[in-house]
């Protein structure tokens, strides 16, 4: 059994919560060293600043700006040459801003796509992780369980959904649902 989900086209963020509070947000950077963006992460419009879980939690997700918000921002820019080229670049610049108020104005959203660690908790399935993260108040990337027998039809379903998807995506991710496997 697998889990098929959107590969959102934004900026990967790693968040740390301790004692139920957001304590750190960093970009993926070069894969080893990222930029600390904690103040800007607090400005994401759908990110919980406090969660029920009181242990140390580390999760990974994507910061994105929706197409409607991207278009609204570009409408405010008179000079055609100065308009943003795509939501991903706008999101990257917005998250890395020095002024958190600018980040807040741009309606950056966060979608969790991986649980890195949750102190004292073990999960056997990725779908259990997604469900638990949703219970903590996180928006999670849209996903569906799949098997070899329904993978093709599920890929077609996602292909049909891309036209109306408000968030930029540049593909799909397929993971085994069984974490140990």
Burial of 142 (0-12, 13-18, 19+ CB in 10 A): middle
Q: Is 7 a catalytic residue?
A: yes
Q: Is the dihedral of CA 67, 133, 114, 144 positive or negative?
A: negative
Question: Of 7, 54, 83, 125, which one is the catalytic site residue?
Answer: 7
Helical pair 87-95 and 67-75, crossing angle rounded to 10 deg = 80
- For residue 76, what are the CA distances in angstroms to 43, 65, 70, 136? 21, 16, 10, 36
Catalytic center residues: 7
């Amino acid at each position: 059994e697998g889990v098929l989900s959107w590969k959102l086209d934004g900026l990967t963020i790693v968040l740390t919560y301790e004692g139920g509070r957001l304590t750190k947000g960093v970009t993926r950077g070069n894969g080893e060293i990222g930029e600390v963006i904690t103040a800007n992460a607090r400005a994401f419009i759908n990110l919980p600043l406090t969660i029920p879980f009181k242990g140390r939690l580390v999760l990974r997700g994507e910061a994105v700006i929706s197409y409607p918000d991207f278009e609204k921002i570009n409408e405010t820019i008179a000079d055609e040459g100065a308009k943003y080229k795509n939501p991903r670049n706008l999101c990257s610049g917005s998250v890395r801003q020095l002024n958190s108020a600018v980040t807040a104005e741009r309606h950056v959203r966060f979608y969790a796509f991986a649980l890195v660690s949750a102190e004292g908790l073990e999960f056997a399935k990725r779908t259990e992780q997604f469900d638990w993260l949703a219970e903590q108040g996180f928006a999670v990337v849209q996903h569906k369980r799949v098997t070899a027998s329904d993978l093709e039809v599920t890929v077609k379903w996602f292909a049909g959904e891309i036209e109306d998807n408000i968030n930029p995506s540049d593909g799909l991710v397929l993971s085994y649902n069984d974490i140990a496997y």
